[in-house]
Amino acid sequence: MNTKKFILLLLFGLSSLNLFSQTKKSLEIIEKKYQDKLDTGNDMYGSTIIYYNQMDSMLNVVYRMAKLKLNTNRASILKAQQLKWLKQRDNYFKTVDKEQNESGLNSIDNKMTKLHEKAAFINDRILTILKTYQLN
C-alpha cells in the first residue's frame, strides 16, 4: 500500500471514530432537549412527534454508519438482524396502536404516550447497534 492511500485510510478512520462518538452524544442531546421540552408542559405532543422523527432518523444514521464500518460478512449479518427487528417493530407498533384504539381514549395525552412508546422502542434499537458494533 502506498503512503498516500495509507494516509487517506488513516484520516478516514480517524474521522469515522469521531463521527461514531458524536452519534452517542447526539442521541443524549436529543433526549435531553426532549425531556426539557416535556418539563415545560408546553406542546408536549408536538415535542413527542419531533422526538419520534429524530429517533427514526438517528436509527437510519446509526445503521448506515455500522454498515460502513463492517466487512461484507458482518454487514450481511447486521442487515438480517435489522430486517428481523423491523418485523418486530411493525408488530410492536400494531400492538401499541391497537391498545390505543381499544382504550377509547383518543386524547392528545394518550396519543403522546403511545408515540413516546414507539420512539423508546426505536431508541432501544439505536443503543443496541451502538453497543454491539462499538459505535459509541
What percent of the chain has a predicted confidence (pLDDT) above 90? 60
SS (H, E, C) the chain: CCHHHHHHHHHHHHHHHHHHHHHHHHHHHHHHHHHHHHHHCCCHHHHHHHHHHHHHHHHHHHHHHHHHHCCHHHHHHHHHHHHHHHHHHHHHHHHHHHHHHHHCCCCHHHHHHHHHHHHHHHHHHHHHHHHHCCCC
Domain positions in the chain: 19-132
What is the predicted pLDDT for the residue at 14? Answer: 40
What is the predicted pLDDT for the residue at 23? Answer: 79
What is the predicted pLDDT for the residue at 100? Answer: 77
What is the predicted pLDDT for the residue at 12? Answer: 45
pLDDT tens-place string over residues 46-73: 999 999 999 999 999 899 989 988 999 9
What is the predicted pLDDT for the residue at 81? Answer: 97
The whole-model pTM stands at: 0.80
Residues of the chain with pLDDT under 50: 1, 6, 8-19
